[in-house]
Amino acid sequence: MADYSGYFESRKIALVGVSGSPRKFGNAVHRTLKDRGFEVFPVHPSLKEINGSRCFEHLGELPPEVSTLVVAVAPHTAVEVIREAIDSPMKRIWFQQGADFSQAAEAARNAGMEVVSNKCVLLYAPPVTGFHGFHRFLARLIGRL
């Protein structure tokens, strides 16, 4: 299994793709990371708050010590997110699985950022327990982790 511990060392993670709807995946990522003890910095152009966390309108507003970004938006939006991330303290980008982020991932790599793509952050952000722990076990069992 690849070592992604650098993405989680600081326990501070920015998240682009949160939603005001509790049923949306970005909202679930935010809640789960918070429940696991991470300080999550949601970025959303119009929300002021989500699940008790202040939302930031732009990546440039984030504290400088936040250097890991989870991207859970559509691929065409992700390219714009990376353009903004290039001018921010972001060093590590995690593209949530489920879509083809190859263009955005290439832009991030070309800017010198570490990139993980097509993997679910919830299978790696410690501690991995419950449903995600079981899913991680199955992924290891069939060689997909």
Domain tally for the chain? 1
Q: What pLDDT does 45 receive? A: 93
By C-alpha distance, which of 56, 118, 55, 114 is closest to 82?
114
Q: Which tens digit of pLDDT belongs to each residue from 56-73? A: 999 999 999 999 999 999
Q: What pLDDT does 134 receive? A: 47
Checking if the pLDDT of 124 tops 80, the result is yes
Q: Which tens digit of pLDDT belongs to each residue from 7-20? A: 999 999 999 999 88
Model pTM score:
0.88
Residue 90's domain spans which residues? Answer: 5-141
Alpha helix stretches (DSSP H) within 37-129? 75-86, 102-110
Neighbours of 71 (CB within 10 A): 29
Segment 91-117 shows an average pLDDT of: 94
Segment 74-96 shows an average pLDDT of: 94
What is the average pLDDT value for the chain, to the nearest integer? 88
Q: What pLDDT does 1 receive? A: 57
CATH code, domain carrying 62: 3.40.50.720
